[in-house]
Structure 1
Amino acid sequence: MTLEQLRIFVAVAERGHMTKAAELLGISQSAASAAIRALEQQHGVRLFDRVGRNIELAQTGRRFLPEAKAVLERAAAASNVLEHVSQTVTGSLSIAASQTIASYWLPRRLAAFHEAYPAVRLNVSIGNTSQVETHVLDGTADFGLVEGRTESDILRRAKVDVDRLLLVVASTHPKVAEHGRGHPDIRELRWIIREGGSGTREALEDLARREAVPFADLRIFLVLPSNEAIRQAVEAGAGATIISELVVGRAVAEGSLRSVPIDLPKRDFAIITHRDRQPSLAQMALRAHLGGKADLPPLSRG
């Protein structure tokens, strides 16, 4: 039994799908299947039941999963000790980021980090704020980057930047009715929004509460899973949305979208980490690079 086999087993168990687990780990589907098959054959057990195209943990697999995760956590802790002794920033980092951050804020910063620390391998997964929080809590991600609120009290949260939100419509959209200056009638707008759990949707929910309008009374026309899909739908004249300036700033500047005057509070971009997990030097270095607080000793960058 090897650590690599355990990593593959945990990834497959958490995703219920061999191919998705292999893609996450950066290996072929056949390599992932071979690792699981070897584990089962070495110990004469069945870890998974095959259900159609998906797989589910068998009873033995369910019992084995927490032990496998514990071994991987201890191995990571041991690696951290050696990193701190050598003062060399190496290894790999798993980052979960919400869509706005992952698509518009993070890429250039990760490219700069790679220039500074080329021995660190980075793996980024994208989800909404709720999904990112879950990944950090269950250890799938070393840390997360979110723009929405998080719920768990066992997460540490540190602001790394501030984001400006805009209410936008197509340039051809009729004039938006107002209750007063800077107070558009949000009941009259036809809304295009993200799914529940996203920071972008949360911004509209907050606005509805501030305007004393039940969220259920809003004319929700369309729910879409990505910022890009929302931007394109709004440009096509399908309705209005509240979204990050990072996503629509160019479209507003070029005239395909129009920003509706409204007083929207800025929101924080934040790093979230698990308070009970010891960060590696690589995690500390990236956190410092992205603007979080980390006290770093002089380092060799590998």
Structure 2
Amino acid sequence: MDQALFVFVTVADKGSFTRTAEELHMTQPAVSQYIAALERTTGTKLLERTNKYVRLTKAGYIVYHHAKEIIGQYTRMQALIDDLMHIASGPISIGASYTFGEYVLPHAIARLSERYPLIQPTITIGNTREIAEAILNHEIDVGIIEGEYEDKKLLIEPFAEDVMEIVVAKNHRLSSEEDIAARALESETWIVRETGSGTREAADRMFSGLRLHPRKLMEFGSTQIIKESVEAGLGITLLSQWAIRKESALGTLRTIRVKGTPITRQFSLVTGATPFHTKAAQLFIELLRETRWTASTEL
């Protein structure tokens, strides 16, 4: 790999030639020489440098974006080569959308660590769209998303079903009702996730399927905040059974039955369109495929 690219990315990330020299255990003049060589190669200035700051130029932003991708691809290539000679070990970067990431993934990581203690996972949590984009940008090795998502540049494989139910506070007027009509929910305040979230996509699909037109929507960017808000009586919501396991057991949240519910969706594996994965990534993928993931199962 071109060392100049690595030095350049480090300067951009650190915002300093001095801190880069300290990080890479080299002299500051050596850092400057690498940057100058890269600028000669590209034929343009890549950094604006003063006594107060170091900033990327417009050309620098382009080189930085592609350099990050090149470094990521080189690292993955080296990991694949190393896997041919060693037992399962090393880093794996996993991205997951909120429901799976916060309520299911910890159980998966525990199983992975029990079987392969030398594998070192790092976790990124985001909504479905963000995780898919992270795979495309080579920022993570494996992604798990919720609901429906399509991109020809990605391999998307459903591996588990998620059940979603309408959730209310324990003292809500509908908490003890049976056979509730959808129209009875139109006057309720619905608390939903942001656009791009798999949970929001499921809620919108439910509204359409039930011909339900909520008069008031509140949009929150966190499942935990939604649960707290429903418990406080602020509104009702649609959430995965995984997300409300503890609250259901404690009785602070209840589910209600409406014709056309519960709603089901898929948890799906997302990887780049390549047949090659590190051993750590392949073992994690196999673990997800072989496990029966249901919210009613004690893990």
Q: Which residue of 2 aligns with 1:25?
A: none
Whether contact under 8 Å (2:145, 2:268) holds in the other structure is yes
TM-score (norm 2): 0.77
Moved more, 59-68 or 130-139: 59-68
Q: Quote the Cα distance in structure 2 between the aligned partners of 1:9 and 1:211.
A: 51
Unpaired segments ≥5 residues, structure 1: 20-29, 294-302
Output the CA distance in 1 between the equivalents of 2:54 and 2:102.
Answer: 31
d(CA) in 2 for partners of 1:90, 1:249: 33
Moved more, 33-42 or 102-111: 33-42
Residues 126-160 of structure 1, C-alpha deviations (whole Å, 9 max, x = no match): 10111111101111011101112222122112233
Question: Counterparts in 2 of 1:279-298, with a 5 A limit?
Answer: 279-291=277-289
User: Counterpart amino acid of 1:228?
Assistant: Q
Q: Hey, what does 1:300 align to over in structure 2?
A: none
Max Rg structure: 2
Distance of 1:145 and 1:203 partners within structure 2: 16
Alignment of 1:89-238 (within 5 A): 89-175=88-174, 181-185=179-183, 186-213=185-212, 218-220=215-217, 222-238=218-234
3-state DSSP of counterpart to 2:151: coil
Q: Structure 1 pair 158/40, CA: closer, same or farther in 2 (3 Å)?
A: farther
Alignment counterpart, residue 276 of structure 1, candidates 263, 274, 278: 274
- TM-aligned CA distance change 1:141 to 1:75, over 3 Å: closer
Change (3 A) 1:229 1:75: closer
Change (3 A) 1:2 1:122: farther
Residues 162, 267 of structure 1: 8 Å contact kept: yes
Cα deviation, 1:209-263, whole Å, max 9, x if unaligned, reads 112345xx5410x221111111000000000000111222332332222211131
Identity of aligned residues (%): 26
Give the match for residue 295 of structure 2.
none
Aligned equivalent of 1:72: 72
> In the comparison of the two structures, how many residue pairs are matched?
271
TM-score normalised according to structure 1 size: 0.77
* Distance change (3 Å), C-alpha of 1:258 and 1:115: closer
Stretch of structure 1 that moved more, 165-174 or 67-76: 67-76
